[in-house]
Structure 1
Amino acid sequence: MTQTILYARVSTADQTATHQRSQAEAAGFQVDHVVTDDGVSGVSTRLAERRQGQRLFDMLRRGDLLVVRWVDRLGRNYGDVCETIREFMRRGVIVKTVINGLTFDGATTDPMQQAVRDALIGFMAAMSQAQAEATKEAQKAGIMHAKAQAEARAYRGRKVSYTRNQFETVQAMLGQGAAVAAIAKATGLSRQTVYRISADPAEAEAALARWAA
Protein backbone atom coordinates (compact mmCIF):
# COMPACT_ATOMS: atom_id res chain seq x y z
CA MET A 1 0.00 0.00 0.00
CA THR A 2 1.44 3.33 -1.07
CA GLN A 3 1.66 6.25 1.34
CA THR A 4 2.03 10.01 1.21
CA ILE A 5 4.72 11.37 3.51
CA LEU A 6 5.28 15.05 4.20
CA TYR A 7 8.84 15.96 5.11
CA ALA A 8 9.06 19.21 7.08
CA ARG A 9 12.37 20.83 7.96
CA VAL A 10 11.83 23.54 10.56
CA SER A 11 14.60 26.13 10.73
CA THR A 12 12.75 29.23 12.00
CA ALA A 13 9.87 29.94 14.37
CA ASP A 14 7.39 30.60 11.54
CA GLN A 15 8.09 27.30 9.71
CA THR A 16 6.26 24.89 12.00
CA ALA A 17 5.47 21.35 10.87
CA THR A 18 1.78 22.05 11.53
CA HIS A 19 1.86 25.03 9.19
CA GLN A 20 3.63 23.05 6.47
CA ARG A 21 1.09 20.24 6.79
CA SER A 22 -1.79 22.72 6.55
CA GLN A 23 -0.26 24.14 3.37
CA ALA A 24 0.08 20.67 1.87
CA GLU A 25 -3.49 19.67 2.71
CA ALA A 26 -4.80 22.99 1.38
CA ALA A 27 -3.03 22.13 -1.89
CA GLY A 28 -4.95 18.84 -2.05
CA PHE A 29 -2.48 16.34 -0.58
CA GLN A 30 -3.80 13.60 1.72
CA VAL A 31 -0.91 13.28 4.17
CA ASP A 32 -0.47 9.92 5.89
CA HIS A 33 2.67 10.71 7.88
CA VAL A 34 4.73 13.78 8.76
CA VAL A 35 8.47 13.50 9.31
CA THR A 36 10.03 16.58 10.90
CA ASP A 37 13.57 17.79 11.51
CA ASP A 38 13.80 20.74 13.91
CA GLY A 39 16.63 23.26 13.98
CA VAL A 40 18.67 21.54 11.27
CA SER A 41 20.68 23.53 8.75
CA GLY A 42 19.82 22.76 5.14
CA VAL A 43 23.21 24.13 4.07
CA SER A 44 25.65 22.14 6.17
CA THR A 45 23.67 18.95 6.89
CA ARG A 46 22.68 16.55 4.12
CA LEU A 47 19.21 15.02 4.32
CA ALA A 48 20.65 11.53 4.75
CA GLU A 49 22.69 12.77 7.74
CA ARG A 50 19.72 14.26 9.61
CA ARG A 51 18.13 12.08 12.27
CA GLN A 52 14.63 12.25 10.77
CA GLY A 53 16.06 12.40 7.27
CA GLN A 54 17.51 8.93 7.82
CA ARG A 55 14.10 7.79 9.02
CA LEU A 56 12.54 9.21 5.88
CA PHE A 57 14.84 7.13 3.67
CA ASP A 58 13.88 4.03 5.67
CA MET A 59 10.14 4.70 5.41
CA LEU A 60 9.78 5.45 1.71
CA ARG A 61 9.00 2.60 -0.68
CA ARG A 62 8.43 2.32 -4.44
CA GLY A 63 5.23 4.08 -5.42
CA ASP A 64 5.17 6.31 -2.33
CA LEU A 65 4.71 10.05 -2.62
CA LEU A 66 7.10 12.42 -0.84
CA VAL A 67 5.69 15.91 -0.35
CA VAL A 68 7.78 18.94 0.63
CA ARG A 69 6.79 22.60 0.88
CA TRP A 70 9.58 23.39 -1.56
CA VAL A 71 12.87 21.79 -2.54
CA ASP A 72 14.74 23.91 0.02
CA ARG A 73 13.25 21.68 2.74
CA LEU A 74 15.37 18.83 1.35
CA GLY A 75 18.49 20.97 1.45
CA ARG A 76 20.19 24.15 0.34
CA ASN A 77 23.27 22.65 -1.23
CA TYR A 78 23.08 22.22 -5.00
CA GLY A 79 24.85 18.88 -5.24
CA ASP A 80 23.09 17.39 -2.22
CA VAL A 81 19.59 18.37 -3.37
CA CYS A 82 20.17 17.04 -6.89
CA GLU A 83 21.51 13.72 -5.61
CA THR A 84 18.73 13.40 -3.00
CA ILE A 85 15.93 13.84 -5.51
CA ARG A 86 17.59 11.49 -8.00
CA GLU A 87 18.06 8.85 -5.29
CA PHE A 88 14.37 9.01 -4.42
CA MET A 89 13.46 8.68 -8.09
CA ARG A 90 15.79 5.66 -8.44
CA ARG A 91 13.85 4.07 -5.59
CA GLY A 92 10.58 4.68 -7.40
CA VAL A 93 9.46 7.48 -5.07
CA ILE A 94 7.59 10.43 -6.57
CA VAL A 95 8.61 13.83 -5.15
CA LYS A 96 6.15 16.71 -5.25
CA THR A 97 6.34 20.29 -3.97
CA VAL A 98 3.48 22.27 -2.47
CA ILE A 99 4.78 25.55 -3.86
CA ASN A 100 4.60 25.64 -7.66
CA GLY A 101 3.27 22.06 -7.76
CA LEU A 102 6.45 20.55 -9.17
CA THR A 103 6.65 16.78 -9.78
CA PHE A 104 9.84 14.72 -10.00
CA ASP A 105 9.06 11.19 -11.19
CA GLY A 106 11.70 8.62 -12.14
CA ALA A 107 9.16 6.67 -14.19
CA THR A 108 9.44 9.18 -17.04
CA THR A 109 10.90 7.39 -20.09
CA ASP A 110 10.63 10.03 -22.79
CA PRO A 111 14.14 11.52 -23.24
CA MET A 112 12.80 15.04 -23.80
CA GLN A 113 10.71 14.89 -20.63
CA GLN A 114 13.69 13.47 -18.77
CA ALA A 115 15.85 16.35 -19.96
CA VAL A 116 13.29 18.92 -18.86
CA ARG A 117 12.85 17.17 -15.51
CA ASP A 118 16.59 16.96 -14.84
CA ALA A 119 17.11 20.58 -15.87
CA LEU A 120 14.32 21.62 -13.50
CA ILE A 121 15.89 19.65 -10.66
CA GLY A 122 19.20 21.42 -11.25
CA PHE A 123 17.54 24.82 -11.49
CA MET A 124 15.53 24.37 -8.29
CA ALA A 125 18.56 23.04 -6.40
CA ALA A 126 20.71 25.94 -7.60
CA MET A 127 18.01 28.42 -6.57
CA SER A 128 17.84 26.88 -3.08
CA GLN A 129 21.58 27.30 -2.61
CA ALA A 130 21.54 30.82 -4.05
CA GLN A 131 18.79 31.85 -1.63
CA ALA A 132 20.70 30.37 1.29
CA GLU A 133 23.84 32.25 0.29
CA ALA A 134 21.89 35.48 -0.16
CA THR A 135 20.35 35.06 3.29
CA LYS A 136 23.78 34.39 4.79
CA GLU A 137 25.22 37.51 3.16
CA ALA A 138 22.26 39.59 4.38
CA GLN A 139 22.79 38.30 7.91
CA LYS A 140 26.51 39.04 7.67
CA ALA A 141 25.76 42.58 6.46
CA GLY A 142 23.31 43.05 9.31
CA ILE A 143 25.89 41.91 11.86
CA MET A 144 28.53 44.23 10.37
CA HIS A 145 26.08 47.14 10.42
CA ALA A 146 25.21 46.49 14.06
CA LYS A 147 28.90 46.23 14.91
CA ALA A 148 29.64 49.50 13.11
CA GLN A 149 26.84 51.21 15.00
CA ALA A 150 28.18 49.87 18.30
CA GLU A 151 31.67 51.08 17.44
CA ALA A 152 30.28 54.47 16.46
CA ARG A 153 28.45 54.73 19.76
CA ALA A 154 31.63 53.77 21.60
CA TYR A 155 33.62 56.36 19.69
CA ARG A 156 31.14 59.08 20.59
CA GLY A 157 31.80 58.38 24.25
CA ARG A 158 29.40 59.24 27.03
CA LYS A 159 26.14 60.71 25.80
CA VAL A 160 25.92 64.45 26.40
CA SER A 161 23.28 65.67 28.83
CA TYR A 162 23.01 69.20 27.48
CA THR A 163 21.75 70.88 24.34
CA ARG A 164 23.52 73.34 22.10
CA ASN A 165 21.57 76.22 23.65
CA GLN A 166 22.44 75.08 27.18
CA PHE A 167 26.11 74.75 26.24
CA GLU A 168 26.21 78.25 24.78
CA THR A 169 24.44 79.68 27.84
CA VAL A 170 26.95 78.01 30.15
CA GLN A 171 29.82 79.42 28.11
CA ALA A 172 28.33 82.91 28.14
CA MET A 173 27.66 82.91 31.87
CA LEU A 174 31.11 81.53 32.64
CA GLY A 175 32.56 84.34 30.57
CA GLN A 176 30.56 86.79 32.69
CA GLY A 177 32.01 85.28 35.87
CA ALA A 178 28.75 83.70 37.06
CA ALA A 179 28.92 81.06 39.82
CA VAL A 180 28.46 77.42 38.94
CA ALA A 181 25.38 77.18 41.14
CA ALA A 182 23.76 80.13 39.37
CA ILE A 183 24.57 78.67 35.94
CA ALA A 184 23.15 75.28 36.93
CA LYS A 185 19.93 76.92 38.12
CA ALA A 186 19.61 79.06 35.01
CA THR A 187 20.20 76.22 32.55
CA GLY A 188 18.58 73.34 34.43
CA LEU A 189 21.83 71.38 34.30
CA SER A 190 23.55 69.65 37.17
CA ARG A 191 26.54 71.32 38.77
CA GLN A 192 28.67 68.37 37.69
CA THR A 193 27.76 69.00 34.05
CA VAL A 194 28.59 72.69 34.39
CA TYR A 195 31.92 71.84 36.00
CA ARG A 196 32.68 69.39 33.16
CA ILE A 197 31.93 72.02 30.51
CA SER A 198 33.98 74.59 32.41
CA ALA A 199 36.96 72.25 32.83
CA ASP A 200 37.24 71.35 29.13
CA PRO A 201 34.95 73.44 26.92
CA ALA A 202 36.62 72.20 23.71
CA GLU A 203 35.91 68.53 24.53
CA ALA A 204 32.41 69.42 25.73
CA GLU A 205 31.66 71.04 22.38
CA ALA A 206 33.26 68.13 20.46
CA ALA A 207 31.10 65.63 22.36
CA LEU A 208 28.04 67.70 21.53
CA ALA A 209 29.00 67.64 17.84
CA ARG A 210 29.59 63.86 17.87
CA TRP A 211 26.19 63.12 19.34
CA ALA A 212 24.49 65.60 17.05
CA ALA A 213 25.94 63.66 14.11
Structure 2
Amino acid sequence: MTQTILYARVSTLDQDLTHQRTHAEKAGFHIDEVVADHGVSGVSTRLAERTEGKRLFDMLRRGDTLVVRWVDRLGRNYEDVTETIRLFMKKGVIIRTVINNMTFDGSTTDPTQMAVRDALIAFMAATAQAQAEATKEAQRAGIEANKGNADKYRGKKPSYSRDQFNTVVDMIGAGQGASAISKATGLTRQTILRIRDDQAASEAALAKWGI
Protein backbone atom coordinates (compact mmCIF):
# COMPACT_ATOMS: atom_id res chain seq x y z
CA MET A 1 0.00 0.00 0.00
CA THR A 2 1.47 3.32 -1.03
CA GLN A 3 1.54 6.37 1.20
CA THR A 4 1.79 10.14 0.85
CA ILE A 5 4.16 11.82 3.27
CA LEU A 6 4.49 15.56 3.77
CA TYR A 7 7.95 16.70 4.77
CA ALA A 8 8.03 20.08 6.49
CA ARG A 9 10.89 22.13 7.89
CA VAL A 10 11.19 25.42 9.75
CA SER A 11 14.49 27.08 10.60
CA THR A 12 13.59 28.26 14.12
CA LEU A 13 11.99 26.43 17.02
CA ASP A 14 9.19 28.98 17.47
CA GLN A 15 7.86 28.79 13.93
CA ASP A 16 4.63 26.93 13.25
CA LEU A 17 4.37 24.02 10.81
CA THR A 18 0.58 23.93 10.77
CA HIS A 19 0.12 26.13 7.72
CA GLN A 20 2.39 23.88 5.62
CA ARG A 21 0.00 20.95 6.09
CA THR A 22 -3.05 23.18 5.69
CA HIS A 23 -1.63 24.61 2.47
CA ALA A 24 -0.98 21.09 1.14
CA GLU A 25 -4.48 19.86 1.98
CA LYS A 26 -6.09 22.92 0.42
CA ALA A 27 -4.10 22.12 -2.72
CA GLY A 28 -5.78 18.70 -2.85
CA PHE A 29 -3.15 16.47 -1.24
CA HIS A 30 -4.33 13.68 1.07
CA ILE A 31 -1.54 13.43 3.62
CA ASP A 32 -1.03 10.12 5.42
CA GLU A 33 1.80 11.31 7.66
CA VAL A 34 3.80 14.45 8.37
CA VAL A 35 7.54 14.28 9.00
CA ALA A 36 8.93 17.56 10.31
CA ASP A 37 12.18 19.12 11.46
CA HIS A 38 12.19 22.16 13.74
CA GLY A 39 15.04 24.61 14.19
CA VAL A 40 17.06 23.19 11.31
CA SER A 41 18.81 25.22 8.64
CA GLY A 42 18.32 24.12 5.06
CA VAL A 43 21.61 25.76 4.14
CA SER A 44 24.04 24.06 6.49
CA THR A 45 22.28 20.77 7.24
CA ARG A 46 21.67 18.16 4.56
CA LEU A 47 18.36 16.30 4.58
CA ALA A 48 20.11 13.01 5.41
CA GLU A 49 21.71 14.67 8.46
CA ARG A 50 18.48 16.01 9.99
CA THR A 51 16.82 14.07 12.80
CA GLU A 52 13.51 13.60 10.99
CA GLY A 53 14.66 14.17 7.42
CA LYS A 54 16.88 11.11 7.45
CA ARG A 55 13.85 8.96 8.38
CA LEU A 56 12.44 9.62 4.92
CA PHE A 57 15.14 7.51 3.32
CA ASP A 58 13.93 4.49 5.31
CA MET A 59 10.20 5.25 5.22
CA LEU A 60 9.66 5.94 1.54
CA ARG A 61 9.13 2.99 -0.79
CA ARG A 62 8.49 2.58 -4.52
CA GLY A 63 5.19 4.16 -5.46
CA ASP A 64 5.09 6.45 -2.41
CA THR A 65 4.70 10.20 -2.80
CA LEU A 66 6.82 12.76 -1.00
CA VAL A 67 5.11 16.15 -0.75
CA VAL A 68 6.99 19.36 0.04
CA ARG A 69 5.82 22.95 -0.05
CA TRP A 70 8.76 23.76 -2.34
CA VAL A 71 12.15 22.19 -3.01
CA ASP A 72 13.79 24.50 -0.45
CA ARG A 73 12.20 22.33 2.28
CA LEU A 74 14.60 19.58 1.16
CA GLY A 75 17.54 21.96 1.23
CA ARG A 76 19.00 25.23 0.05
CA ASN A 77 22.18 23.85 -1.41
CA TYR A 78 22.13 23.12 -5.15
CA GLU A 79 24.10 19.87 -5.06
CA ASP A 80 22.28 18.53 -2.01
CA VAL A 81 18.80 19.21 -3.43
CA THR A 82 19.45 17.78 -6.88
CA GLU A 83 21.18 14.70 -5.43
CA THR A 84 18.34 14.09 -2.95
CA ILE A 85 15.59 14.34 -5.58
CA ARG A 86 17.42 12.02 -7.98
CA LEU A 87 18.05 9.50 -5.21
CA PHE A 88 14.35 9.37 -4.33
CA MET A 89 13.39 9.06 -8.02
CA LYS A 90 15.75 6.10 -8.40
CA LYS A 91 13.91 4.44 -5.50
CA GLY A 92 10.63 4.92 -7.36
CA VAL A 93 9.39 7.72 -5.11
CA ILE A 94 7.34 10.52 -6.65
CA ILE A 95 8.18 14.04 -5.44
CA ARG A 96 5.46 16.68 -5.64
CA THR A 97 5.47 20.34 -4.66
CA VAL A 98 2.50 22.18 -3.22
CA ILE A 99 3.51 25.44 -4.90
CA ASN A 100 2.86 25.20 -8.64
CA ASN A 101 1.98 21.48 -8.30
CA MET A 102 5.24 20.23 -9.81
CA THR A 103 5.76 16.46 -10.12
CA PHE A 104 9.10 14.67 -10.41
CA ASP A 105 9.48 10.93 -10.85
CA GLY A 106 11.89 8.56 -12.50
CA SER A 107 9.36 6.47 -14.41
CA THR A 108 9.73 8.23 -17.76
CA THR A 109 12.19 6.85 -20.27
CA ASP A 110 11.57 9.45 -22.96
CA PRO A 111 14.82 11.46 -23.34
CA THR A 112 13.03 14.74 -24.02
CA GLN A 113 10.82 14.41 -20.95
CA MET A 114 13.85 13.44 -18.89
CA ALA A 115 15.76 16.51 -20.10
CA VAL A 116 12.88 18.84 -19.25
CA ARG A 117 12.43 17.23 -15.83
CA ASP A 118 16.14 17.46 -14.98
CA ALA A 119 16.32 21.07 -16.16
CA LEU A 120 13.41 21.99 -13.89
CA ILE A 121 15.02 20.26 -10.93
CA ALA A 122 18.28 22.10 -11.56
CA PHE A 123 16.52 25.46 -11.92
CA MET A 124 14.47 25.03 -8.75
CA ALA A 125 17.49 23.90 -6.72
CA ALA A 126 19.55 26.84 -7.98
CA THR A 127 16.73 29.24 -7.09
CA ALA A 128 16.52 27.80 -3.56
CA GLN A 129 20.25 28.35 -3.02
CA ALA A 130 20.16 31.87 -4.49
CA GLN A 131 17.28 32.84 -2.18
CA ALA A 132 19.14 31.42 0.82
CA GLU A 133 22.24 33.43 -0.02
CA ALA A 134 20.18 36.62 -0.46
CA THR A 135 18.55 36.00 2.93
CA LYS A 136 21.92 35.57 4.66
CA GLU A 137 23.21 38.78 3.10
CA ALA A 138 20.14 40.69 4.27
CA GLN A 139 20.56 39.31 7.78
CA ARG A 140 24.21 40.39 7.86
CA ALA A 141 23.20 43.85 6.69
CA GLY A 142 20.60 44.14 9.42
CA ILE A 143 23.03 43.00 12.11
CA GLU A 144 25.72 45.39 10.87
CA ALA A 145 23.29 48.31 10.80
CA ASN A 146 22.50 47.80 14.47
CA LYS A 147 25.99 46.86 15.70
CA GLY A 148 27.12 48.94 18.63
CA ASN A 149 23.76 50.70 18.89
CA ALA A 150 21.35 48.42 20.72
CA ASP A 151 18.84 51.24 21.25
CA LYS A 152 18.65 52.21 17.60
CA TYR A 153 15.04 52.51 16.43
CA ARG A 154 14.23 49.37 14.48
CA GLY A 155 11.13 50.64 12.76
CA LYS A 156 7.71 49.02 12.83
CA LYS A 157 7.71 45.31 13.59
CA PRO A 158 7.00 43.30 10.41
CA SER A 159 3.44 42.09 10.01
CA TYR A 160 4.70 38.78 8.63
CA SER A 161 6.67 35.91 10.14
CA ARG A 162 9.86 34.37 8.79
CA ASP A 163 7.90 31.39 7.51
CA GLN A 164 5.33 33.64 5.80
CA PHE A 165 8.14 35.65 4.22
CA ASN A 166 9.74 32.48 2.87
CA THR A 167 6.41 31.30 1.48
CA VAL A 168 5.84 34.64 -0.28
CA VAL A 169 9.33 34.56 -1.82
CA ASP A 170 8.90 30.93 -2.91
CA MET A 171 5.51 31.55 -4.51
CA ILE A 172 6.70 34.71 -6.25
CA GLY A 173 9.62 32.71 -7.63
CA ALA A 174 7.14 30.11 -8.84
CA GLY A 175 5.18 32.78 -10.73
CA GLN A 176 2.19 32.93 -8.37
CA GLY A 177 0.11 36.12 -8.20
CA ALA A 178 -0.59 38.24 -5.13
CA SER A 179 -4.14 36.90 -4.72
CA ALA A 180 -3.00 33.27 -4.60
CA ILE A 181 -0.18 34.14 -2.19
CA SER A 182 -2.57 36.09 0.04
CA LYS A 183 -4.90 33.08 0.21
CA ALA A 184 -2.02 30.74 1.09
CA THR A 185 -0.37 32.96 3.73
CA GLY A 186 -3.18 35.09 5.13
CA LEU A 187 -1.18 38.25 4.40
CA THR A 188 -2.65 41.32 2.73
CA ARG A 189 -1.91 42.07 -0.91
CA GLN A 190 -0.16 45.25 0.19
CA THR A 191 2.26 43.30 2.37
CA ILE A 192 2.91 40.78 -0.40
CA LEU A 193 3.59 43.50 -2.95
CA ARG A 194 5.94 45.24 -0.53
CA ILE A 195 7.93 42.03 -0.10
CA ARG A 196 7.89 41.44 -3.85
CA ASP A 197 9.14 44.93 -4.67
CA ASP A 198 11.99 44.90 -2.14
CA GLN A 199 12.81 41.47 -0.78
CA ALA A 200 16.13 42.61 0.71
CA ALA A 201 14.50 45.39 2.77
CA SER A 202 11.71 43.06 3.90
CA GLU A 203 14.26 40.47 4.97
CA ALA A 204 16.35 43.13 6.74
CA ALA A 205 13.26 44.19 8.72
CA LEU A 206 12.90 40.63 10.03
CA ALA A 207 16.60 40.53 10.92
CA LYS A 208 16.38 43.81 12.86
CA TRP A 209 13.67 42.31 15.05
CA GLY A 210 15.51 39.02 15.40
CA ILE A 211 12.76 37.14 13.60
TM-score of the superposed pair, with normalisation by structure 1:
0.68
Distance 1:123 1:54 in 2: 24
Which residue is equivalent to 1:157?
none
Give % identity: 74
Assess if the C-alpha contact under 8 Å between 2:8 and 2:68 holds in 1.
Answer: yes
Q: Where does residue 34 of structure 1 map in the other structure?
A: 34
Q: Which runs of 5+ in 1 are unaligned?
A: 154-213
Q: What's the RMSD between the two structures over aligned residues? A: 1.8
Tell me the secondary structure at the aligned position of residue 147 of structure 2: helix
CA distance in 1, matches of 2:2, 2:49: 25
Instruction: Write the distance in 1 (CA, Å) between the matches of 2:151 and 2:92.
Output: 59
Structure 1 partner of 2:121 = 121
Aligned to 1:61: 61
Counterparts of 2:19 and 2:10 in 1: how far apart (Å)? 10
Counterpart of 1:46 in structure 2 is 46
Q: Is the 8 A contact 2:12 2:40 kept in 1?
A: no
Distance 2:53 2:151 in 1: 45
Shift of 1:92: 0.1
Q: 1:86-140: CA deviations, max 9, x gaps?
A: 0000000000000011111110111001000000000000000000000000000
- Structure showing greater Rg: 1
Q: How does 1:2-151 map to 2 (within 5 A)?
A: 2-12=2-12, 16-147=16-147, 150=149
User: 1:138 & 1:131 partners in 2: Cα distance?
Assistant: 11
Query: What SS class does the counterpart of residue 42 from structure 1 fall into?
Result: coil
Between the aligned partners of 1:26 and 1:102, the Cα distance in structure 2 is 16
The structure 1 segments of at least 4 consecutive aligned residues displaced by more than 4 Å after TM superposition are 12-15
Gapped regions of structure 2 (runs ≥ 5): 153-211
Task: Quote how far apart the aligned CAs of 1:13 are.
Answer: 6.8
Q: Aligned partners of 2:17 and 2:97: how far apart in 1?
A: 15
User: Which letter does structure 2 place at the counterpart of 1:20?
Assistant: Q
Which one has more relative contact order, counting CA pairs under 8 Å at least 6 apart?
2
Cα deviation for residue 17 of structure 1 reads: 2.3
Corresponding letter in the other structure for 2:43: V
TM-score (norm 2): 0.69
What letter is aligned with 1:121? Answer: I
Structure 1 distance, partners of 2:15, 2:88, is: 24
The alpha-carbon deviation at position 54 of structure 1 amounts to 1.2
Displacement, 1:12?
A: 4.2
**How far apart in 1 are the matches of 2:55 and 2:151?**
50
SS of equivalent residue, structure 1 residue 66? strand
2:169 is aligned to: none
- 1: distance between equivalents of 2:21 and 2:79? 27
d(CA) in 2 for partners of 1:55, 1:152: 44
Counting helix residues as a fraction of each chain, which structure ranks higher?
A: 1
Q: Distance in 1 between matches of 2:15 and 2:98?
A: 14
Distance 1:151 1:45 in 2: 31
- CA-to-partner distance for each residue in 1:122-165, whole Å, 9 max, x for gaps? 000000000000000000011111126x2998xxxxxxxxxxxx
CA drift of 1:19 comes to 1.1
Q: SS at the partner of 1:76? A: coil
Secondary structure, aligned partner of 1:5? strand
